[in-house]
Amino acid sequence: MPSRSVKRRSGRTGSPRRRRGSGARAVVALVALTAVVALAVGMAAWWRSRQRGAPIELAGLVVQAAVRAGCPAAAVVVGEPGHGAEPRQVTVNAPRAFDLNRFVLDVEAAAHDLGGRVEPRPLSERGGYGLARLEGEVAGEKWRVVVVGEKVGARGRAPRRAAPSGARGRLAIVLDDAGNSLAPLGDLERLPLAVAVAVLPNAAQAGEVARALAATGREVLVHMPMEASGDSEPGPGPGAIEVGLDALEVRRRLEQAFAVMPQARGLNNHMGSRATADAATMGMVMAVVAERGLYFLDSRTSADSVAERIARQSGVATLHRDVFLDVVQEPGAIARALDEAVAEAQESGSAVAIGHVHGVTVAVLAAELPKLADRVTLVAPSRLAAARKPRLGSYREGGDADDEGRR
């Protein structure tokens, strides 16, 4: 049989081995492309989950930063998520040895690592209690971190005893820094008379403001300027009680203040983070306060204050501030601080909150106080002080036999 020649089909080129190599490369490329897409999808999902978890993660990192700076974790309070424009707040109750600079840098770095940013902001309370404020946004949520002085009761205090079952706590509110102007008087008329006002004796219109307040039946305190620690600006002003003054000069400055407002029922410190930490200075102050039969309210601008202890030893009826209402001058922050004061009063039987005669503070109090009638009884600070007045010689470190039960 004649042999038949095999003809190649037109259009086909290359060897079978070459064709198999091209197919393998296509498969590899497809697998690589699939892997890249899967990795991208996975990274996107990871980032979304990280972003969703960032608020919780930031709170934990703030607590860790506070611990590294010398603050117990239990002294860091993480608030509820904010509503609307209000941020979520973390409050750090810092002890005296707290490394503030390290804490601020650590929190800024933590927010940055989470893809957000927090920055220092000014504080409205600069008497020594408010130490720092940072605000910013992380993963779409607004945050505020506030560092304040250590709470009373954090060290060396007698355990609190809760109010009797079914009883309402008693809350005293004092608004500081009056006397510079008559303008706040109209706004203050919106508040219950139980809300007391502390007037700066060295302010331009102190005497007139004190007389007007007392004429309405509102309780007035001398908001006595006292020396602050460090380079606090502005300082306490003329006539302040300073460390190193002798007893005659301390008496002269106090008598000068009382002459401006003889209506005063009590005295509390304006600034004074250094003066209230000095036992000798406070001893001279309390001698004059005791002679006049006034009560003393320790504003607690420093965790190192010995003013309350010296007052008790001197037989002076005394109180201390539990909550500052307007460290941050914003309605939401003030409302939350007021709620903290109410909770403190309910838990402990009574509490003292201090704010300032700022318009926003008065507005929040005017709106919120009527809603609290079923939770607390609002009382003038003199009523709480009278219930706690010690007998001379009865004071013990860590508590007093004549306390009404809160400390």
- CATH code of the domain covering residue 111: 3.30.460
Assess whether 126 and 71 both reside in one domain.
yes
pLDDT computed for residue 396 by the predictor: 40
- For 278-309, what is each residue's pLDDT tens digit? 999 999 999 999 999 999 999 988 878 999 99
Among 49-63, 185-199, 253-267, 365-379, the least confident range: 49-63
Q: How many domains does the chain divide into?
A: 2
Rounded Cα distance between 243 and 276, Å, is 9
Assess whether 138 and 203 both reside in one domain.
no
pLDDT computed for residue 161 by the predictor: 45
Q: What is the CATH number of the domain that holds 288?
A: 3.20.20.370
Q: Average pLDDT in the 81-103 region?
A: 83
* 7 in a structural domain: no
Assess whether 276 and 345 both reside in one domain.
yes
Among 46-50, 133-137, 278-282, the least confident range: 46-50
Share of the chain above pLDDT 70, in %: 74
Assess whether 187 and 322 both reside in one domain.
yes
pLDDT computed for residue 19 by the predictor: 55
Assess whether 178 and 265 both reside in one domain.
yes
Residues 332-347 as b or e (16 or more Cβ within 10 Å = b): bbbbbbbebbbebbbe
Assess whether 251 and 104 both reside in one domain.
no
* 72 in a structural domain: yes
Domain that holds residue 206: 169-400
Q: Is pLDDT larger for residue 11 or for residue 93? A: 93
- For 159-210, what is each residue's pLDDT tens digit? 344 445 555 899 999 999 999 999 999 999 999 999 999 999 999 999 999 9
Among 89-103, 176-190, 256-270, 358-372, the least confident range: 89-103
